Chain A
Amino acid sequence: MRFMVMIKSDERTEDGVMPTEEELNAMGRYNEELVKAGVLLAGEGLHPSSKGARVKFTDGKPTVIDGPFAEAKELIAGFWLIDVKSKEEAVEWMKRIPCTDGAEVNVEIRQVFEADDFGEAYTPEQRERDEQLRLAAKKD
């Protein structure tokens, strides 16, 4: 089963403070372990929310709100997508995230939908179309 692991923002990430070489080295070594264990599928870091936007729909009408957004700790600063056997295994891997600078870090682990999770509303025809789309999207 796949999990999305989100590292939450804090004042530093929202201020655009980038990791040091030492922090990148530690994260690289951790990611390398995940890759070698066949656990890591993808990973990305995000710019501060000041470079982003929100589109809020109200009864079908979109309103655009420019970043930054309040409440840094509710935002996401980056994520890993991992493939493991259970939530417990995901937790065990993620307990080892390198936190090298003595700051508090919050990490959220969430299970990713697989096709079978959608039940009968997900018709075989749509499932096939989506599978083709997935393959097409990955080809670049």
Chain B
Amino acid sequence: MRFMVIRMADEETEAGVLPSTELIEAMGRYNEELVKAGVMVAGEGLLPSSRGALLHFDGAGKTTVTDGPFAEAKELVAGFSLLEADSLEDVIEIVRRWPVEDGHGNAEIEIRQVHDAEAFGDALTDENRPYTMGIKYD
């Protein structure tokens, strides 16, 4: 099973405060453990929402574009990892060891299961499978 581990944003990430060398090295050690355990698939960090945009499709053919920043820092995403693990419980144990240097010990992490082919059932066909299930960091 694959899981997306989402580091939620906070005021510092939204203000564009860059990680210290100490934090970068702590995350590096943590990620190294996950790679060596064969758990880590990928990981990325995101720039503040001020560099982003929102698209709203109204369902009737009209699309509205709004430039960032967006309100509610703690509901935004600051970064993510993709992990391969046997269960949600295993991922929770991994995330419990998240570096305390991050967010000055106050980081919030969301864990979400990623769809595999089985989740789509009969709607997944030989025709649509290559471009719905086959795009995975390669």
Residues on A lying within 8 angstroms of B by beta carbon are 2-4, 6, 18-21, 23-25, 27-29, 31-32, 35, 40-47, 49, 51-62, 64, 69, 71, 74, 76, 78, 81, 87, 90-91, 94-95, 97, 99, 102-113, 117-119, 121-123, 126, 129-130, 133, 136-138, 140
Contacts and interface: CB of A to CB of B under 8 A. Distances in A.
B111 A52 contact: yes
B4 A46 contact: yes
Contacts of A4: 44, 46, 77, 80
Contacts of A122: 21, 24
A72 B120 CA distance: 21
Interface of A is mostly: mixed
* CB-CB nearest 8 A-B residue pairs: A60-B105, A28-B128, A74-B75, A31-B131, A113-B45, A45-B115, A28-B131, A47-B113
B47 interface: yes
B135 A31 contact: yes
Contacts of A53: 88, 91-92, 110-111
25 contacts: A28-B129, A29-B131, A31-B135, A41-B135, A42-B135, A44-B114, A46-B115, A52-B113, A57-B106, A69-B110, A95-B63, A106-B54, A106-B55, A107-B57, A108-B54, A108-B70, A110-B49, A112-B46, A113-B47, A113-B79, A137-B35, A137-B41, A137-B42, A137-B43, A140-B41
A45 B41 contact: no
B132 A28 contact: yes
Given A44-B114, A46-B114, A94-B55, A54 B47 contact: no
Interface string B43-84: 111110101111111111001010010101001010110101
A106 B75 CA distance: 14
Contacts of A32: 130-131
B100 A60 contact: yes
